[in-house]
Amino acid sequence: MRLSIIAFAALVALLAAAPADAKPKKSPQKPKLGGSTPKTSSGRPAAICTSPVQLVTSAATKTVGKGTPASCNEAALVSALAKGGVIHFNCGPTPVTIAIQSEINVNPSVNTVIDGNHLVTLDGKGVTRILSLNTGNYNSVTPKLTVQRLRLINAQSKGTGTQPTNGGGAMYRFGGSFDVIDSDFGHNKAPSPGQDIAGGAIYSIGGGFTRISGSIFYENEASNGGAIGNLGNDLSIYNSYIGYNKATGTGGNPGDGGNGGGISMDGKGRSATLCGVALVNNVANKFGGAMFRTSYTGLEPNNFDHILVDGNEIVKAGGGLAGGLYIQGGRVVLTNSAITRNKAGGYAGIFLAPMDHENSFKNVVIAENTAYTGLGGGIDCDSDVTGTFDHITVARNHAPGSSAFGGGITGCTGITLSNSAVVDNTEGNEWNPLNCFGGPLKEGGHNVQGPKVRASGQTDALCTSNSVFIPGGSSSELNTHTFCVTVKGGYGAQCMNKIPGLGGKVPNF
């Protein structure tokens, strides 16, 4: 997996100078911030989006077990997977755990479905990866392995160094395609450190696609992509929870990983789709606390709708970037989403890195993110990033370092901002722009910001040429149950209209 090298030249340029103070404008036009009262759920992940990935309902061609828990064992599963087809379990009416002592190879010549019917757990006992599909051909799009209604826990792939084959703690794919439906992955591990090792739970390499729906990834870890690693194929995730996973490598690249606490993805000409996904409380050591995505043409699609990116972190000692999302070299369409309470050395909420072109954000909350020592508490865009931000609220983000500023937005001068509020962000260096630094952004109309005067007594720089000031300091609040930011004074609230995840619950593994 080729991981990008961060160029800090842009950061140095931003630190070098700040724009002159802008004059105050006329009374504000109140933007309609959008959104509605959100709803939550519990149990399985909330079914917010229509998933194209549906349960396979075909009759079994092979059955593991003869009606008792004892008859459902590793040997019976190995025998079934060697033949492929649609595999069911007959282990009795109560849940059963099957101990796995050695990695099981799935037949690479035929489609295979493994259906646990929410009664079967495969336990790697901390000694082995559980499943492997290896076609021997990176470009092969077939066969497809479908895992549904199954739990995979305590698996651990072996090896160290730079070999991608060591990734995928629970499941590994080389060639072919993956569907994962209504399944759970907990406490799985891939080696660390390692520059090209990824996927504490799943590592998919080459082939056609990886599609995940209605699934939970909890407390998995790997050098990169604490839960999911994806190289050279399309990745789609629907109605899923990815929480408390870790990317434990160090140094990024060049280095030994540490990118993508929840997800790491690399690949030219490949798409990423997330809809109804909660990325919460994941941790990485270098870049992308929730997700690290790198691509190469500037237009590879990243389509994110109804995603919650909350409480993710780059460890403070790592000095890395993007506690929430790190996206490089692609096009981001982000709608109906919240990026909140993420932490990193800099660019804490979102970093749109070089070659991110034609981006579109609409109805997005970016709030209470913290850049420990660097710039950009909320969002940072590289100098060549283009696109539109419409109906976004950037509020209560922080850049508290003694030399830090741009608490809300840094860069993003190729972005057109409209119908948006940038309010109540804070900075450690009061002598430089507070809410927006390196700007202004392009004027789209109906934007407000506040406070007008920062702690130095200077009038803050305008975020766009016609932005208008509203009272700041306590003009907004984030409701962490509904993920609404309310801007006081009649400006309304920016909300997610549906909240992905588990209704605030933590999985039980």
Whole-number Å distance between alpha carbons of 271 and 369: 27
Confidence class of residue 29 from pLDDT cuts 50, 70 and 90? low
DSSP tag of 21 = P
Contacts of 114 (CB under 8 A, 6+ apart): 81, 87, 131, 145, 146, 147, 148, 150
What pLDDT, on a 0 to 100 scale, did the predictor assign at position 253?
77
DSSP tag of 78 = H
Residues 428 and 405: beta-carbon distance below 8 Å: yes
CA angle, 87 then 93 then 94, to 5°: 100
Average pLDDT in the 384-388 region? 95
In 16-143, the DSSP E strands lie at 62-64, 85-89, 96-99, 104-105, 112-123, 131-134
Lateral strand order in the sheet of 492-495: 476-479, 484-487, 492-495
Of 176-180, 220-224, 313-317, 469-473, the poorest mean pLDDT is in: 469-473
What pLDDT, on a 0 to 100 scale, did the predictor assign at position 474?
67
> Phi/psi of residue 109, each to 5°?
-110, -15
Whole-number Å distance between alpha carbons of 226 and 258: 9
Q: Is the pLDDT of residue 266 over 70?
A: yes
Q: Is the pLDDT of residue 98 over 90?
A: yes
What pLDDT, on a 0 to 100 scale, did the predictor assign at position 325?
98
What pLDDT, on a 0 to 100 scale, did the predictor assign at position 355?
84
DSSP tag of 23 = P
| Of 30, 3, 22, residue with least CA distance to 489 | 30
Confidence class of residue 38 from pLDDT cuts 50, 70 and 90? very low
Confidence class of residue 255 from pLDDT cuts 50, 70 and 90? confident
> How does pLDDT run across 464-478, given as a tens digit for each residue?
999 999 986 667 899
217-241 core/surface letters (b: 16 or more CB in 10 A; e: else): bbbbbbbbbbbbbbbbbbbbbbbbb
What pLDDT, on a 0 to 100 scale, did the predictor assign at position 22?
36
Average pLDDT in the 333-345 region? 97
Of 232-246, 253-267, 333-347, the poorest mean pLDDT is in: 253-267
> How does pLDDT run across 190-210, given as a tens digit for each residue?
999 988 899 999 999 998 999
DSSP tag of 256 = B
Of 6-20, 170-184, 347-361, 420-434, the poorest mean pLDDT is in: 6-20
Q: Specify the higher pLDDT residue, 186 or 25.
A: 186
Q: Is the pLDDT of residue 20 over 80?
A: no
Average pLDDT, the chain: 90
Bridge pairing between strands 379-381 and 426-427: unpaired
Residue 2 has, within 13 A of its CA and on its CB side, a CA count of 7
> How does pLDDT run across 146-168, given as a tens digit for each residue?
999 999 999 999 876 667 899 99
Residues 315 and 348: beta-carbon distance below 8 Å: no
What pLDDT, on a 0 to 100 scale, did the predictor assign at position 488?
82
Whole-number Å distance between alpha carbons of 452 and 56: 58
**Two tokens at 456?**
């130095």
165: exposed, middle or buried (C-beta count within 10 Å: 0-12, 13-18, 19+)? middle
Confidence class of residue 16 from pLDDT cuts 50, 70 and 90? very low
What pLDDT, on a 0 to 100 scale, did the predictor assign at position 3?
38
Residue type, position 249, single letter: G
What pLDDT, on a 0 to 100 scale, did the predictor assign at position 160?
63
Residue 40 has, within 13 A of its CA and on its CB side, a CA count of 13
Residue type, position 327, single letter: I
Confidence class of residue 123 from pLDDT cuts 50, 70 and 90? very high
Residues 240 and 276: beta-carbon distance below 8 Å: yes
Whole-number Å distance between alpha carbons of 124 and 174: 20
- Bridge partners (DSSP) listed for residue 207: none
**Two tokens at 143?**
């066969």
Residue 9 has, within 13 A of its CA and on its CB side, a CA count of 4
Confidence class of residue 139 from pLDDT cuts 50, 70 and 90? very high
**Two tokens at 391?**
């109906």
> How does pLDDT run across 291-307, given as a tens digit for each residue?
999 998 888 999 999 99
Q: Is the pLDDT of residue 503 over 60?
A: yes
What pLDDT, on a 0 to 100 scale, did the predictor assign at position 31?
56
361-395 core/surface letters (b: 16 or more CB in 10 A; e: else): bbbbbbbbbbbbbbbbbbbbbbebbbbbbbbbbbb
3-state secondary structure of 470: coil
The pTM for the full model equals 0.92
Average pLDDT in the 371-393 region? 95
Q: Is the pLDDT of residue 482 over 70?
A: yes
Average pLDDT in the 267-286 region? 97
Task: Indicate if the alpha-carbon torsion angle 428, 7, 196, 173 is positive or negative.
Answer: positive
172: exposed, middle or buried (C-beta count within 10 Å: 0-12, 13-18, 19+)? buried
**Two tokens at 155?**
């698996």
3-state secondary structure of 487: strand
Whole-number Å distance between alpha carbons of 448 and 431: 21
Q: Specify the higher pLDDT residue, 31 or 85.
A: 85
Whole-number Å distance between alpha carbons of 284 and 313: 6
Q: Is the pLDDT of residue 377 over 60?
A: yes
What pLDDT, on a 0 to 100 scale, did the predictor assign at position 39?
38
Q: Is the pLDDT of residue 14 over 70?
A: no
Q: How many CB atoms lie within 10 A of CB 440?
A: 21
Best-predicted range by mean pLDDT among 11-20, 248-257, 334-343, 480-489?
A: 334-343
Q: List the chain domain ranges.
A: 9-55+182-495
Residues 321 and 352: beta-carbon distance below 8 Å: no
